[in-house]
Structure 1
Amino acid sequence: MQGTVANYDPVSRSGDLLTDDGLRMRFGADTLAEHIRHLRLGQRVHIDADHHGVTGIRLW
């Protein structure tokens, strides 16, 4: 699934995403791909998720 960064805290490396379906999803630092050092508001990302929430975030 794809989405947009809605909120990001660079200190905790966590924030919120807004999916293309309009769903707001919270993510933690453990979901970011290793190569991601920073996210900016409005940045497009690829989201991996299961029924528990976000499991991975990748840039494309």
Structure 2
Amino acid sequence: MQATAYTYDSETRAGSVLLDDGTPVPFDAAAFDAGGLRLLRPGQRVRIEVQDTEGAADARRITLVTLQTF
């Protein structure tokens, strides 16, 4: 799935992305580290992998964030 980087904190390595419909979805340091990135700037197109979590208030959890390449 593709998204756009929205926020990123280099100290915590966590942030959020905007889905193409404008929905913000947060990611944690584990998802950032899984993608092998060093830095993320707001506005960059990214590829994300999402895991649906049953019974959780937030139904989606990002498990991987990496740069979108063509």
TM-score, reference length from structure 2? 0.77
The residue aligned with 2:25 is 25
Q: Name the count of aligned residue pairs.
A: 59
Q: CA RMSD in A?
A: 1.0
> Structure 1 length as normaliser, TM-score?
0.88
**Identity rate of aligned residues, in percent?**
39
Matched residue of 1:38: which SS? coil
The one-letter code matched in structure 2 to 1:4 is T
Structure having the higher Rg: 2
User: Any gaps of 5 or more consecutive residues in structure 2?
Assistant: 54-60
